[in-house]
């Protein structure tokens, strides 16, 4: 499929379809989801009983994004800190769609964090729409001491923990410094 858009207009497409002759089938066998990616809506037909992991593979194939970088969220703001888990079944997600059937897909960016005290560098794949404070949580979960330390980007500028990564100018390949 063409990642520039579907032949279906998201405004005109029904959020759900069914291969059953019974119009009252709940949930439907298949459903159309509206996928918001890079500011544009796309329609994707999926089996309702698919897992999030299966949907991620479909999106990887459609958009040519490496699978490890495809992140799928319900379309809610603020963005939940964690994406939908691969093993989650769409039937479990279905009741939370609130009739909109909208998801947000993000392409994770690769960033580096250099620990000044040890010289170690860590590669992270993260969603650029996360708050900087989430990076501290990642560091702690990897047993890295952050007590009395700040992240800097560029090397001499402390980063505001409340800002989103993209809001700090952090992009693909950026290196942050923990000191």
Taking only the tens place, the pLDDT of each residue in 57-78 is: 999 999 999 999 999 988 776 6
Phi and psi angles of residue 63, each rounded to the nearest 5 degrees, phi first: -100, -5
pLDDT-based confidence at residue 27 (cuts at 50, 70, 90)? low
Q: Which domains does the chain have, with CATH numbers?
A: 16-107 (3.10.20.90), 109-178 (3.10.20.90)
Taking only the tens place, the pLDDT of each residue in 89-130 is: 988 887 777 667 788 888 899 999 999 999 999 999 998 888
């Amino acid at each position: 499929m063409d990642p520039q858009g579907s032949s279906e207009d998201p405004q005109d497409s029904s959020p759900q379809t069914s291969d059953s002759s019974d119009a009252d089938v709940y949930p439907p066998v298949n459903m159309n989801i509206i996928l918001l990616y890079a500011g544009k809506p796309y329609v994707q037909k999926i089996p309702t009983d698919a897992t999030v992991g299966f949907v991620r593979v479909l999106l990887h194939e459609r958009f040519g994004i490496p699978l490890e970088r495809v992140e799928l969220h319900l379309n809610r703001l603020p963005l939940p800190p964690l994406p939908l888990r691969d093993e989650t079944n769409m039937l479990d997600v279905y009741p939370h769609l609130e009739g909109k059937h909208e998801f947000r897909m993000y392409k994770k960016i690769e960033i580096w964090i250099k620990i000044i005290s040890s010289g170690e560098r860590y590669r992270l794949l993260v969603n650029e729409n996360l708050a900087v404070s989430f990076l501290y949580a990642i560091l702690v979960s990897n047993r890295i001491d952050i007590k009395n330390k700040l992240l800097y980007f560029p090397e001499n500028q402390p980063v505001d923990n409340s800002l989103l990564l993209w809001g700090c100018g952090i992009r693909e390949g950026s290196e942050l410094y923990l000191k």
